[in-house]
Amino acid sequence: MASLANTPPLTRSSVINAHGLIKPYIHTTPVQTNATLSTLASTPQSADALKGTEWESQQPAKPNIKLFFKCENFQRIGAFKVRGAFHAVKRLIEEQGIEETRRRGVVTHSSGNHAQALALAAKTFSIPAHIVMPSISTPSKIEGTRAQGATIHFSGSTSQEREAVVADVIKQTGATLVPPYNHPDIMLGQGTMALELVQQAEELIGKDGKLSVHADGKGLDAVIVPCGGGGMLSGNAIALHGTGIKVFGAEPSFQGGDDARRGVEAGQRIESVKTLTIADGLRTPLGDYTWRIISDRAHVTGLYAVTEENIKDAMRLVLERMKCFVEPSAVVGLATILYNEDFRSMVENEAGEEGWNIGVVFSGGNTTIEAITKIFAPVQDKRAERQEGVLGMDGRKEAENLAG
């Protein structure tokens, strides 16, 4: 990476400058609305839905919410990561010069989206790229990285295992490390999506005031962002700092995947996470740079966690109701809005009857039909069991024939 001594300050103006630097190389992804999902977000959960949860005995929250989806699944390589990767590479070229950068090459470790992003950025400027990927990475992400001409090195799934292989690559090649999230240049690059989201939401509301909960046509009140290593969440928080727009983070709770939430609650960064959540892009802990922003309530107002079932349910809604192809990591923010009663009660209490306009970041869409089928297979199996119980074996065979 470019020297930390020359890194721009972590301010909104630096994000604006970063946007100008990378704009020729990225897509301005669309912002979409969906009346059905906004209605669901504003509808109290049923007693059955809360049964067995920590909120079972509570009165369901009744927030008033309108949703604005920043669709980074339509970004180049199918995810937001190109923003940080292009900013980091451009800054590196500015500092080292293009010939030295090409001579040394770049290296990173990633489960897939940053891998593809850095491979694309490096290819754009004819820079050799070495990518360390966990062997359990999604096959489509591995192939997407390889398609950009990068050299792939496989590792274990923990951050320590990845970093050990990176160290070997640097020793062998002299490549410059471009980390997936824990660097100011990455954070500033990722924050550029917030600039677009706010402006695009205002433009949509300007054309149709009914999209807003506010009679005066006010724009976003809050933004919720998936959180893994924290580059995107911290970048969005920096970009929106001082604007009055609140920023929230969302994580998977499975096997301790909500390390940011737990760390902030305890007042100490959790440095190691080992979770096999279906939200595979969020399996990493916060870095020391991202921690500084995310643990600061002046930047990130709150962090919330959701279950694997919450993620699946939100993903199903996006696929079926929005007709939008997303990966599991992309929907943890929406899952929080729909199913986390702590978040929903907070919105109800703070926003009152008027409610909030909330920007929701869909971080990426790098998954496959096979992976989605596997995620929802247990649901399909249970449905088949119920069908057999009602129709009997002959009836089930008839239904299968009709379906075929």
**Separation of first and last alpha carbons in the chain:** 54
Tokens of residue 54, six digits: 């920590």
Do 278 and 308 meet the contact criterion of CB atoms below 8 Å apart? yes
pLDDT, residue 378, reads 63
Q: What CATH number should be reported for the domain whose range is 82-179?
A: 3.40.50.1100
Residue-by-residue pLDDT tens, the chain, 404 positions: 777 778 999 999 999 999 999 999 999 999 999 999 999 999 999 999 999 999 999 999 999 999 999 999 999 999 999 999 999 999 999 999 999 999 999 999 887 789 999 999 999 999 999 999 988 887 877 888 999 999 999 999 777 888 899 999 999 999 999 999 999 999 999 999 999 999 999 999 999 999 999 999 999 999 999 999 999 999 999 999 999 999 999 999 999 999 999 999 999 999 999 899 999 889 889 999 999 999 999 999 999 999 999 999 999 999 999 999 999 999 999 999 999 999 999 999 999 999 999 999 999 998 889 989 999 986 544 443 333 343 343 333 333 333 33
Q: Model's pTM, two decimal places? A: 0.90
State the span(s) of the chain assigned CATH 3.40.50.1100: 4-78+190-362, 82-179
- Specify the pLDDT at position 198: 98
CA pair distance 378, 314, nearest whole angstrom: 16
The CATH number fitting domain 4-78+190-362, selected from 1.25.40.80, 3.60.20.10, 3.10.50.40, 3.40.50.1100: 3.40.50.1100
**Residues 6 or more apart whose Cβ sits within 8 Å of residue 283:** 111, 157, 228, 257, 273, 275, 276, 277
Nearest-Å Rg of the Cα atoms of the chain is 22
* Rounded Cα gap, residues 2 and 6, in angstroms: 7
Q: How far apart are CA 157 and CA 136, in angstroms?
A: 7
How does strand 65-71 pair with strand 31-32? antiparallel
* Residue 241 and residue 12 in contact, taking contact as beta carbons nearer than 8 Å: yes
Nearest to 14 by CA among 247, 241, 248: 241
Catalytic residues: 81, 111
* Residue 394: per-residue pLDDT: 39
Half-sphere exposure of 351 (CA within 13 A, CB side): 26
Residue type, 62: K
> Among 31, 353, 318, 109, which Cα is nearest to 215's?
353
Strand partners, 153: 132
Reference 8, options 158, 155, 186; nearest CA is 186
Residue 144 is predicted with a pLDDT of: 86
